[in-house]
Amino acid sequence: QSVVTQPPSASGTPGQRVTITCSGSSSNIGSKTVNWYQQLLGTAPKVLIYNNNQRPSGVPDRFSGSKSGTSASLVISGLQSEDEGDYYCAVWDDDLLGWVFGGGTKLTVL
């Protein structure tokens, strides 16, 4: 059981908006910034959102992030078939003195 929890799956049709949540505690999300990673099938993860809501260059603005209290969210607007893959939230935990990853959310584009 991960310290930070995500729903195991999410789905949507092309063009829809999908939200993936990440729930933690005061020792991680409540006090540190959240990062989101995308892992497409058979590839290495890549950063999608950093510092709660910042997009690296090259990441489409369809992807957005937010944080409130001890929860964070990743929103994908205008869902596309190439968005299908696994999404992970990650955050530093002050009690564990290490990174914690959410269990991952498998996104299916119907």
Partner 1 sequence: EVQLLESGGGLVQPGGSLTLSCTASRFTFSNYAMTWVRQAPGKGLEWVSSISASGGSTYYAGSVRDRFAISRDISKNTLYLQMNTLRVEDTAVYYCAKGSYDYVWGSYLDYWGQGILVTVSS
The residues that touch partner 1, with contacts defined as CB under 8 A, are 2, 32-33, 35, 37, 39, 44-47, 50-51, 56, 86, 88, 90, 92, 96-104
Nearest residue (CB) to partner 1, 17 versus 46: 46
Distance of closest approach, residue 19 Cβ to partner 1, in angstroms: 19
The DSSP output letter for 73 is E
Angle at Cα 84 formed by Cα 82 and Cα 86, nearest 5°?
135
- Gap between the Cα atoms of 33 and 23, Å rounded: 13
Distance of closest approach, residue 103 Cβ to partner 1, in angstroms: 5
Nearest residue (CB) to partner 1, 19 versus 39: 39
Contact (CB, 8 A) for 7 and 104: no
Distance of closest approach, residue 99 Cβ to partner 1, in angstroms: 4
Nearest residue (CB) to partner 1, 35 versus 73: 35
Distance of closest approach, residue 64 Cβ to partner 1, in angstroms: 16
Nearest residue (CB) to partner 1, 78 versus 86: 86
- Gap between the Cα atoms of 102 and 89, Å rounded: 5
| Diameter over CA atoms, the chain | 40
Tokens matching residue 21: 């949540």
